A and B are shown apart, each in its own frame.
Chain A
Amino acid sequence: MSELETFREEVRTWLDENCPPNMRTPKDGSARLPSKPEEVSAWCRTLADRGFTVPTWPKAYSGGDYSKEQAAVIQEEMTRIGTMNPAVSFGTMMLGPVLLEFASHEQKLEHLVPIARGEIRWCQGYSEPGSGSDLASLQTRAVRDGDHFIINGQKIWTTMAHLSDWMFCLVRTDPDAAKHHGISFILFDLKSDGVTVKPIKLISGQSQFCEVFFEDVRALAKNLVGKQNDGWTIAKRLLQYERNMLSGLGGGGRRRGGRRRGQSEGRQRGNSGPSMTAESARRYLGTVDGKLGDLTLRDEIVQADLDQLGFQLTMKRSNEEAKTSGPSAASSMFKLYMSEMGKRRSELMMKVMGYQSLGWEGPGFSQEETGTTRGWLRGKGSSIEGGTSEIQKNVIAKRVLGLPSGD
C-alpha cells in the first residue's frame, strides 16, 4: 500500500470512529438526522483537534501540517461519508492563507487558531459605494492614535457582515500617497463601538450582504497586518484566494452564497450518467424513446454539459500542471468561466422548469423549485462579486495574453 493509501485508511477509520451519526449521511442513503448548532460546533472542534479543518496549516496554528495530497484525501473521505467541515469560511479560504503569508507569529496565533476551530466568523470589508471595480480608490480612513487606529468611512456589499464577528478591512492610511500606496490591511471586531451594520436585501429576497458604517471605530494597531501603507499587496493576494474559492478551487467545497443550484453539479460524479439538468428535463418534460422530446433544449443541455466537462478537465489539468511547473495560465480564467457558465446553466434550468420556474413562494411550487428560482437570481451576482467578469477579462487580457493596455 502506498503511503497515501495508508493515510487514507487512517483517515477513514478515524472518521468512522469519531464522526457522529447526525453529522453524516447514513450508509443506507436515508436522510441525515437533524443536528443542533452546538453539535455542529462540537464536530468542528473534534475535526480541529485532529488538524482536519485546515489540514495544510501548521500545527502551531491548529492545522495538521499535512501535504496538499493528504488534504485532498481528507476532503475525499469526508465527502464519501457525506460529512462537512464546519470551519470552512472566508476565514479558512481567504483570510487564513494571507495571514500565513503576511502576518506576524503573534497575529497568527491570535487569529488563525479561532478560524481553524470555527470560532470566529470573518467578513470582507473591501468595496465601498464609490470603489468597486476600482477598489484601490477606497476612501475609508484610518488614523493612528497611540495603540489604535481610528477608522471612519463606509463599506458596502459586505457579505454576511450581519452574521460575522470580525472584519478584515482595507483602509486608507496615507491620503497623500498614490492610490495603491496609501492602503493598509487591518482586522477588527465588529462589536467595536462605532460600527453599524445594515443588511441589504438582494433581488433573490435574501439579505446576504450589508452596508457597514464606521464612526470613530478604534482598532488595535497590533491588528494591522503587514506594513502600514503596504496593504494593497495583501489585498490583491487575498483576491486571488477569493477567486479560487469562487471558481470552486481550493477545496472545502463552499462558495460564497452557499446554495447555488445547478452550478456545481456533476462535480462528484464521473461522466457516466446524465447531468442534473438533463435529469430535471426528463422529469419535467418527459422523453420519447428515452430521449428528450424537445431537441432544441436537448442541444442546449448538451452544450452546458460539455462546457462543464471542459471546465472540470481544465481545472484538473491545471492542478496537475501546478504540481510540476507552478500556477498554470488557465487558472486565471476559472472564476470568470465558472460564474458565466453557472449563470447560463441557471437560465437553462429556468427553461426546463417552465412556469414552475416563475414561483416566488407559497403554494403551487416546491421548495426545490423556488430555491432554484432564487438561486438563479442570486447567481447573477456571481459575475459581479470578487471582481466583475469585465475586470477579470481586463486582467487576463493584460497579464496573461500580454496585450498592450492603455495605462
Chain B
Amino acid sequence: MALTLNAEQQMLKDNAKEFVRSNAPVSHMRKLRDTKDATGFSSDIYGQMAELGWAGIVIPEEYGGLGLGYLELGLVLEECGRNLVPQPLVSTVLLGAGCLLEGGSDAQKKDILPSVAEGEAVLALAFEESRRFSPYNVKTTADNSGSAYKLNGQKTFVLDGHVAGKLIVSARTSGEERDRDGITLFLVDPKAGGVKIERSTMVDSRNAANITLEGVEVAAGDILGEVGKGADVLDPVLDRATICLTAEMLGLCSQAYDTTVEYLKTRVQFDVLIGTFQALQHRAVDMFCQLELSKSVVLDALSSIDDDREDVAIMASAAKARLTDAARLVTREAIQMHGGIGMTDEHDIGLYMKRSAACELTFGDASYHRDRFATLKGF
C-alpha cells in the first residue's frame, strides 16, 4: 500500500476536517468541560458523525457498517485530534466493537454491531487494573458456578466507562496474576447487580471511570471468544486501537505545531517577529522533522492493519513510541514558544498538552513500546 492517500481517502479526510471545523472546534470541547457535561461528549455531534458513517467505518456491511479500512478511521481520528473533539470512537468502535469483531459470535455481533454503526451504542472495554498499561495484569476473578460466572475485581481507567451501555470486562478464569493465558472476556450489563461505576475527572477532560465488580453474575452465553483465550482477542484489538490513537495524536500535535509556527510568524518582540530568532527556528525545524516521520509511520501502521500484514504489532509499537515522543516534544515546546499566553487556560495550546499527556500513557508509553518492539523483533 502506498504512503499517500487515494482520491476517496483524501475526500474523506477533507470532509472530516470540514465537519469538525464547523461543528466541533476546540470551543466545543471547552464547553463540555466547563459545563461539566454529564456524558462527556455530545451525543448530538456523535450522532452526526455516525450519520457520516464514521462509527461504522471498520464494521462490515453485513453488520450495518461501511466495511472500509482502519486507514479511513485513522484519518477521521486525526481530524478529531486536531480539534480535540471528545467522541467515543476509541472506546466504542476500536475497543468495544473491535473485541466483538475479533472474538464475538455471530449472534453477539448481530446483536451489538449494528447499533454501534448507527452511533447509538457506546461500549467500553474494562481491561486495566494497574497504574500503567498492562493488559495481562488481571486480578479480577470469574468463578464458574454452573451455567453462570461470578465476577469480582476492580477495573481502572475505563474509557467512556460511565456512559457505556455495554461493558466488556476481562477477568481471570485460570492462571496467575500476570499470565497471558487464562484471561476471559465477558459482556457485562453496566446495570447488573454488583457493578459500581465511578467517573473520574481527567486532566484532558475526557471520560474515564473506575469500575468495581462485586459478585456480578454473567451468563456463560455472554463470554466473548474462548474461555481463557481473551488475550488472543485483546492483543490484536489493542494493537489496532493503539495505531488509531496515534492517528489522533498525529492530529493533535500537527495542530499544536501549526498554531506554534503561526505564532512565530505573528508575535513581535525586539521589533522583529520572534520567528526570526534562530534559537526558535531550529527547534521548529526539529519539530517539523519529527512530524514528518510521525506521519509516515502512522500511515504505514494504519495500512498494516488493512493489508493484514504480519507486522501489525511491531508497527503499533513503532507508531506509539514515536508519536508519544513527538506529541510530547511538540506540545511542550508549543507552550514554551508561546511564552506567558501559553500558560493561560484561555489559550487553546495548553489543552493540547493536557490531551497529549493522556494519550502518551494510554495503551502504553514510549518506553513500554520500545521495550515491546525489541521483544517482538526478537532481541
Select from chain B the residue with minimum beta-carbon distance to A127. B340
Select from chain A the residue with minimum beta-carbon distance to B343. A381
Contact (A359, B365) CB under 8 Å given A354-B131, A390-B280:
no
Q: What 10 A-B pairs come out closest when comparing CB atoms?
A: A203-B350, A354-B131, A201-B345, A354-B132, A364-B200, A134-B269, A157-B340, A134-B270, A296-B367, A362-B201
Tell me whether B132 and A361 are in contact (CB under 8 A): no
Tell me whether B204 and A358 are in contact (CB under 8 A): yes
- B92 to chain A: closest CB distance in Å? 20
Interface of B is mostly: mixed
Tell me whether B342 and A384 are in contact (CB under 8 A): yes
Tell me whether B339 and A360 are in contact (CB under 8 A): no
- B24 lies within 8 A of chain A by Cβ: no
Q: How many residues of A contact B (CB 8 A)?
A: 49
Contact (A203, B345) CB under 8 Å given A132-B269, A358-B361, A390-B280:
yes
Tell me whether A205 and B198 are in contact (CB under 8 A): no
B residues neighboring A (CB under 8 Å): 128, 130-132, 156-157, 198, 200-205, 208, 210, 268-271, 274, 277, 279-280, 328, 332, 335-336, 339-340, 342-346, 350, 353-354, 357-358, 361, 365, 367, 370-371
Tell me whether A133 and B339 are in contact (CB under 8 A): yes
Tell me whether B132 and A355 are in contact (CB under 8 A): yes
Tell me whether B344 and A203 are in contact (CB under 8 A): yes
- When each residue 344-388 of chain A gets 1 if its CB lies under 8 Å from chain B and 0 otherwise, what string results? 000100110111111111111100000001000100110111001
When chains A and B are docked, how far (Å) is the Cα of A347 from the Cα of B327? 13
When chains A and B are docked, how far (Å) is the Cα of A296 from the Cα of B200? 29
Contact (A355, B361) CB under 8 Å given A203-B350, A205-B345:
yes
Tell me whether B367 and A363 are in contact (CB under 8 A): no
Subset of 30 A-B contacts with CB under 8 Å: A132-B269, A133-B269, A133-B270, A137-B271, A200-B344, A200-B345, A202-B343, A203-B345, A203-B350, A203-B354, A284-B131, A294-B367, A297-B367, A353-B131, A355-B128, A355-B131, A357-B203, A358-B208, A358-B357, A358-B358, A360-B201, A361-B201, A365-B200, A377-B353, A380-B343, A380-B353, A383-B336, A384-B343, A390-B280, A394-B279
When chains A and B are docked, how far (Å) is the Cα of A394 from the Cα of B279? 9
When chains A and B are docked, how far (Å) is the Cα of A373 from the Cα of B277? 32
A residues neighboring B (CB under 8 Å): 127, 130-134, 137, 156-157, 200-203, 205, 209, 284-285, 294, 296-297, 343, 347, 350-351, 353-365, 373, 377, 380-381, 383-385, 388-390, 393-394
Q: How many A-B residue pairs have CB under 8 A?
A: 118
Add 5 more A-B contacts to A296-B370, A359-B201, A393-B279 (CB < 8 A).
A354-B132, A354-B361, A355-B131, A358-B208, A385-B340
List residues of chain B with CB within 8 A of the CB of A377: 203, 350, 353-354
List residues of chain A with CB within 8 A of the CB of B342: 380, 384
- B358 to chain A: closest CB distance in Å? 5
Contact (A359, B131) CB under 8 Å given A203-B343, A297-B367:
no
